[in-house]
Amino acid sequence: MRFLSNKKLFAISLLILIYLIMQSYFAKSKYKAVSYSPKQLQNILKQKDKYVVIDVRSKKEYDKGHIPGALHADYYNTEALKKATGDKIPIAYCAFSAMRGPYAAYQLYRAGFQPAVLEGGITAWAEDIQGLDSDDPKSKSIFGHPKNIFPVRQKGDYPVNAGSVEIDITAKRFEFTPNKIELRHGQKVTLNLISLDITHGFALPEFGIETELLPNESKKVTFIADRKGNFPFVCNVICGSTSNHASMVGDIIVK
């Protein structure tokens, strides 16, 4: 009898230990964005052998005016981001570091790098530091935010009878729940979105989705999972410090 009690106690202890190990693993593996202020970046720029600054806006915006020494790569182009990074620590920026900068940083994180985001984007840099480079020295400026910043993708071939699915996603400081969603190729997908605290946003660029989430007001978006892959989604409305806001990410995985 005592042997059975000891065996049961051992099993319970083992389960608790496994639970604690898993909790520790997920706490460590949770993505947490790093950010630098314009003044910090000004000092970092002196360490060219260690860091690389990547302008992830459109090429047209980059040509109009960019941070001195910054390379260009579109925020959604993982291979271009990796090539620009090389063996250095990447620091991504866009206009305000609302959507494109955090998205690019998360893409680089998933590719195995340790990226950072510029607080306030090039707008903050222009206000605090002012120095910009341009392909046209007579026209150094922050080019206006383009109307369409989504990648242009061809619709893929997909099964027409894959069915449909509805998924509820909540947003609150500073996470989406759930933040990992698995779909079947060809499914018609409806996302029911709601913010539980302050104004957030939801952007799924690879499917052309971008919407603002006001507190306690539900939004519904639909799309067809017409191609396989891992597609990040991010908060596109600045909802806190850059490091917190840029950590509000998730993945849609189409199999």
pLDDT tens string 42-65:
999 999 999 999 999 999 999 999
Q: Is the pLDDT of residue 109 over 80?
A: yes
Confidence band (pLDDT; 50, 70, 90) for 174? very high
Q: Same structural domain for residues 56 and 111?
A: yes
Q: Averaged over 211-240, what is the pLDDT?
A: 97
Q: Same structural domain for residues 182 and 250?
A: yes
Q: Is the pLDDT of residue 28 over 50?
A: no
Q: Quick check: is 218 in a domain?
A: yes
pTM of the model: 0.85
Q: Same structural domain for residues 122 and 40?
A: yes
Determine the Cα–Cα distance for residues 176 and 194; give it in Å rounded to an integer.
10
Q: Which domain holds residue 233?
A: 164-254
Q: Rounded to an integer, what is the distance from CA 66 to the centroid of its chain?
A: 21
Total count of domains within the chain: 2
